[in-house]
A and B are shown apart, each in its own frame.
Chain A
Amino acid sequence: MIEAVGLSKRYGPKTAVHDLSFTVRPGVVTGFLGPNGAGKSTTMRMLLGLDTPSSGHATLNGRRYADHAAPLREVGAMLEARAVHTGRSAFNHLLALAATHGIPRRRVEEVIDLVGLRQVARKRAGGFSLGMGQRLGIASALLGDPATLILDEPVNGLDPEGILWIRNLLKSLATEGRTVLVSSHLMSEMALTAEHLIVIGRGRLIADTSVEEFTLQASSGKVHVRTPDAARLGKLLRELPGVEVAAEDGENVLEVSGAECEQIGRLAAEHGLVLFELTPQQASLEEAFMELTKDAVEYEATVTPTTSAEEVAA
């Protein structure tokens, strides 16, 4: 269980995180989403006491992180930037961390096997690929067999097999009753891994919702209609209360909002109009995510790479 209460962090004049409160419950994977610079990593560092909040506080399993007598057994963390001395082998890195808690050497061997680093465990971590570095980070997080896991972009740099492995690992950790908080910018990845979402933008909470609910909201509720009788059908639809129709000149296409497919189909049948196509429109999760966070994007490209959700759907 993770509880953040009014967390804020200012770096000089810059507010990285502003009055952020949320709860992460055990038993499910919780996705922590936000565009670049939203404050995800900063929040995670504050959870671990590496950065001191400007105001507010956070508890993990009921206590501040630093107040745990055996923090690695309570919380396992993998931070964004690598936290490994480049001159030390993966094995010795884990052994040194384990020693602080009296964690036995066989547990070190066990996590090395678990993350699949056996072959390179005795090599200098400085020579590791991005994916191997991520695996070592995950091994460090799992070392103390903690009830709570905090992982900052664990899939970053992993190959498809690695991504699948992480996804299954996180799910099984949650199934075991652990609290799992995973940050990402990839909504689509989180939709596959997480059950709950916490979305932030510019350091503020934007959404705290289940993935299911988010996906539901993501559907735009528009219906795409293709008909040779576009003008007549459009006119009939506009007479219905609450229905809006966008037509494209010269094309046989209507974008209808406020009416279900069934309703439109019946209406067309009653008036003997021909329909070629009748499709409910759904914005992709990625588009829905961008739509949700568009006002809170910290670092926006000068030329927006994709148009907004509606335009894409239209």
Chain B
Amino acid sequence: MSTVTATVISTKAGEGRVTLPRVVHSEWIKFRSLRSSYITLAVTFALTVGFGALFCWATVNRWDHLPADERAHFTPVEHSLRGYFLAQMAIGVLGVLVVTGEYSTGMIRASLSAVPKRLPVLWAKTAVFGAITWVVATVSCLIAFFLGQAILAGKHLDTTLSAPGVLRVVLGMGLYLTAVGLLAVGIGTLIRNTAGGIAAVFGTLLVLPLLAEALPSSWQDDIVPYLPSNAGQAVATLHQGPHDLAPWTGLGVLGLYVLAALIGAAAVLKRRDA
């Protein structure tokens, strides 16, 4: 249409269409250009490593006064990863914010104008946020593990990565936290609102297990292990309890929840007005 040579505007915009790798690149720029990304990831790291070390240090101090059955059930690898409980909240908040931050500021209209097919934005966000979360969570868990074992070594309570199941627990925790992040991206897209999204993520992870305890105990065994958090944490449990799901089955169940949330998110993103 513009056959007349541009004077105000050159044609340096080049050529090329919207592709998924380009949208991924765009999401990466978006992620790395917000201070909240760095803060939340630093908090995740600090909570995982810091609380892991704190728990280990406290145990070493109290070890001689612990009752015998507590000593018998002590699992050093799980103990050093205890910080996950708070870290998952930081990751959940960030996962929600990655999406709802766009809605609250209006950025979503710019994003969807650039990518009017819409779904590539969700997939790219999922990929970028999933990859970053996985790296940060896994590195945090490994460092928490080594630091924790170094502290536990003071009472010769430490274990090693090569002991049966330990590597699976450490890496599994990284995967669990990543899944929590992706669940939060899905929920954030479904709800679009920061406060509501965070409440929904916390509700799913923390409140559902509590509510389930109110059920008759005969139902509990059938329901409780399948709740998202309980199922996912199976992969980060060294010795499964009688009602726990098998490690990878549990992670798989959490994966199905994530998948369901993302499919719902895609349907909503595609259909609703921006």
| Interface: A72 (CB within 8 A) | yes
Interface string of B8-38 (1 = CB under 8 A from A): 1111111111110011011101100111100
Could you tell me if A65 and B106 are in contact, using CB atoms closer than 8 angstroms? Answer: no
Could you tell me if B1 and A26 are in contact, using CB atoms closer than 8 angstroms? Answer: yes
The interface on chain B, measured as residues whose beta carbon lies within 8 A of the other chain's beta carbons, has a size of 47
| Interface: A51 (CB within 8 A) | yes
| Interface: A203 (CB within 8 A) | no
Could you tell me if A177 and B33 are in contact, using CB atoms closer than 8 angstroms? Answer: no
Q: What is the minimal beta-carbon distance from B14 to any residue of chain A, in angstroms?
A: 6
B77-124, CB < 8 A from A = 101-102, 105-110, 112-117
Could you tell me if A70 and B16 are in contact, using CB atoms closer than 8 angstroms? Answer: yes
| Interface: B7 (CB within 8 A) | yes
| Interface: A192 (CB within 8 A) | no
Q: What is the minimal beta-carbon distance from A64 to any residue of chain B, in angstroms?
A: 9
Contacts A85-B101, A96-B26; A77 near B113 (Cβ below 8 A)? yes
Complex Cα–Cα for A122 and B18 (A): 26
| Interface: A110 (CB within 8 A) | yes
Could you tell me if A84 and B106 are in contact, using CB atoms closer than 8 angstroms? Answer: yes
Contacts A84-B107, A114-B8; A48 near B29 (Cβ below 8 A)? no
Complex Cα–Cα for A95 and B32 (A): 12
Q: Which residues of B contact A216 (CB under 8 A)?
A: none
Could you tell me if A92 and B29 are in contact, using CB atoms closer than 8 angstroms? Answer: yes
Could you tell me if B34 and A88 are in contact, using CB atoms closer than 8 angstroms? Answer: yes
Could you tell me if B1 and A177 are in contact, using CB atoms closer than 8 angstroms? Answer: yes
Could you tell me if B273 and A51 are in contact, using CB atoms closer than 8 angstroms? Answer: yes
Contacts A85-B34, A97-B110; A106 near B12 (Cβ below 8 A)? yes
Q: Total A-B pairs in contact (CB under 8 Å)?
A: 159
Q: What is the minimal beta-carbon distance from A235 to any residue of chain B, in angstroms?
A: 61
Complex Cα–Cα for A71 and B19 (A): 12
Could you tell me if B1 and A179 are in contact, using CB atoms closer than 8 angstroms? Answer: yes
Q: Which residues of B contact A92 (CB under 8 A)?
A: 29-30, 33
| Interface: B66 (CB within 8 A) | no
Q: Which residue of B lies closest to A85 (CB)?
A: B107
Complex Cα–Cα for A85 and B14 (A): 26
> B36: which of A52, A73, A87 is its contact (CB, 8 Å)?
A87
Contacts A107-B14, A145-B13; A177 near B4 (Cβ below 8 A)? yes
Could you tell me if A175 and B114 are in contact, using CB atoms closer than 8 angstroms? Answer: no
Q: Which residues of A contact B13 (CB under 8 A)?
A: 73, 101, 103-104, 107, 143-145
Q: What is the minimal beta-carbon distance from B36 to any residue of chain A, in angstroms?
A: 6
Could you tell me if B17 and A70 are in contact, using CB atoms closer than 8 angstroms? Answer: yes
Contacts A82-B105, A147-B1, A177-B1; A71 near B29 (Cβ below 8 A)? no
Q: What is the minimal beta-carbon distance from B105 to any residue of chain A, in angstroms?
A: 5
A1-52, CB < 8 A from B = 1, 26, 45, 48-52
Sampled A-B contacts (11; CB under 8 Å): A50-B273, A68-B116, A71-B18, A83-B113, A97-B114, A100-B23, A101-B18, A102-B15, A107-B12, A145-B12, A176-B4
Q: A101-B16, A177-B4 are in contact. List 6 more A-B contacts (CB 8 A).
A: A65-B116, A71-B114, A88-B33, A102-B22, A104-B12, A179-B1
